[in-house]
Structure 1
Amino acid sequence: MRSKLTPLPKTKRRLVRVGLVFAVLCFGVLGFMELYAPSRQLNFRLDVTFEVDGQQITGSGVQKFVLSKSIMSFFPGISYDFDIYGDAVIVDLPNRSSVYVLMNSPRDDGSIDFDSGSYIFFVNSVCKLGEKAGKLGPAGYVRFVGKFTGSCDVEPKDVPVMVRFEDELDPATVERIFPDKAEQVLGADVKFIGARITITDDPVTAGIGDRLTWLSEFGSRSMVSGPSTTNPPFAQIIKHRHFREIEK
């Protein structure tokens, strides 16, 4: 005796059709985004090394670099969206102040930007990804970056802004450290050796707020408040986001 399949009620058939249409639309949107506006991310470890009395001391931290082809790229000059998330790297030097390697890149003349400077381009600049990618279009470049592996030495001009505190509990005591003049701030037996980034699968470093308890989640705030002037004090230029950029 043959068994007959019981047809689905009309309501269920409609729900199935709606579900199939929705699934097709979702896959279509995802396919379009991957083709036209792909996005990739890389975790990278930043190692920063000093020499103290002949002994090399390295501090490390993992940050996340996110790159996507902008969906607004039909406007002139808008091709990519860049972001970097994580904590500033800490180098704990023996018997002296710790060094904080900020998420802020200095300008070409060495001065500091109120924002984060060109730090969002840090990986791209240090590893010369644009040169290595060749003549790929914007979408192809994003995919190339997503497959990038290896390590890159940080040239002196690309070393992020470095600071230390006379008192870590008081943000107003922040002081800048120049790579070629580290001994002037940290002592005659201290020398900056170099920095290097390495692509990694390690998780992004977090927890700097447990150490610098005054850090705010409102990254645009200056470390100390004060009137707007053409020549503000260093602590007023540095912002909370230079120590920690939280992924939204």
Structure 2
Amino acid sequence: MTSEGLRTGSAVREVRFSKRANGGDYGQAVGEAVALDLPNGGTLFALLSGADGSSDHGGQHVWHIMRQIDDDLIELWPTAPKTSDPRIAYPAPMLVTFDDLSDPTSVKRVDPDDLAASFGEGVSLSRVTIEATDQPVTDRLADRLAKLGIKPDHSLDNDFKSTTNPTLAQRLAYRHFKREIAK
């Protein structure tokens, strides 16, 4: 929600499932982050990684949730689904924005409970949902990521040296915004 009304965004991702050698299941998502342009010129990105730090929110979390809840539409935020899997406490995606859309190192995390702190008065998050669909995987972010200077197989901060306390830009990479279908 914004002072100018409701804004919505979406992306279609494909979650692929496979069996592990130990007999367990594994899901991995391909696709892209949701990019939501806001009236103040800011952009909110809902990444492929989870708010809990998981690297494959779209695959692992969604796979566990969909297995345990017999529904085609699941609200992830603000009400997390009830599951028996303790790893799924808050399965919403990680939300980020950029202070400067030409500088990938200016990435900052966005608090889903306080979008106004990042985007101004009157901006709030209503909900995040996932829905089963047969639509094709969306491919709208490649040009936007290139303009941001985010390159495939690279971190958002390509100049950093190894450190025990990496910044968000050093921890995030292209794969958190877009994951290609493996060939």
**Which category describes the TM-score, using the shorter chain as reference length?**
0.7 to 0.9
Code of the aligned partner of 1:151: L
- Corresponding residue of 1:36: none
In the TM superposition, residue 98 of structure 1 has moved relative to its aligned partner by 1.0
- Corresponding residue of 1:245: 179
CA contact (8 A) 2:4 2:39 kept: no
In the TM superposition, residue 94 of structure 1 has moved relative to its aligned partner by 1.6
Match of residue 152, structure 1, among 74, 80, 88: 74
1:200/1:119 CA distance change after superposition, 3 Å = closer
- Corresponding residue of 1:236: 170
Where do residues 52-63 of structure 1 align in structure 2 (5 Å cutoff)?
52-53=2-3, 55-63=5-13
Code of the aligned partner of 2:9: G
Tell me the SS of whatever aligns to 2:116.
Answer: helix
CA contact (8 A) 2:29 2:179 kept: yes
CA contact (8 A) 2:28 2:56 kept: no
Relative to the length of structure 2, the TM-score reads 0.83
* Cα separation, 1, equivalents of 2:63 and 2:118: 30
In the TM superposition, residue 228 of structure 1 has moved relative to its aligned partner by 2.0
Q: Which moved more, 1:118-127 or 1:199-208?
A: 118-127
- Corresponding residue of 2:59: 120
Code of the aligned partner of 2:34: V
1:89/1:118 CA distance change after superposition, 3 Å = closer
User: How high is the sequence identity, in percent, across the aligned residues?
Assistant: 29
- Greater C-alpha radius of gyration: 1
In the TM superposition, residue 193 of structure 1 has moved relative to its aligned partner by 0.8
Q: Which has the higher helix share?
A: 1
1:131/1:87 CA distance change after superposition, 3 Å = closer
In the TM superposition, residue 54 of structure 1 has moved relative to its aligned partner by 6.3
Match of residue 177, structure 1, among 110, 113, 125: 110
Q: CA RMSD in A?
A: 1.9
Code of the aligned partner of 1:102: L
1:100/1:69 CA distance change after superposition, 3 Å = same
Tell me the SS of whatever aligns to 1:158.
Answer: coil
CA contact (8 A) 1:106 1:117 kept: no
* Cα separation, 1, equivalents of 2:105 and 2:32: 20
CA contact (8 A) 2:40 2:119 kept: no
Code of the aligned partner of 2:150: L
Residue ranges of structure 2 left out of the alignment (5+ in a row): 79-89
In the TM superposition, residue 86 of structure 1 has moved relative to its aligned partner by 0.3
Q: Count residues in correspondence.
A: 168
Q: Which moved more, 1:226-235 or 1:117-126?
A: 117-126
In the TM superposition, residue 119 of structure 1 has moved relative to its aligned partner by 4.2
- Corresponding residue of 2:87: none
Where do residues 77-226 of structure 1 align in structure 2 (5 Å cutoff)?
78-107=23-52, 112=53, 116=55, 118-127=57-66, 129-130=67-68, 132=70, 150-156=72-78, 157-213=90-146, 214-218=149-153, 221-225=154-158, 226=160
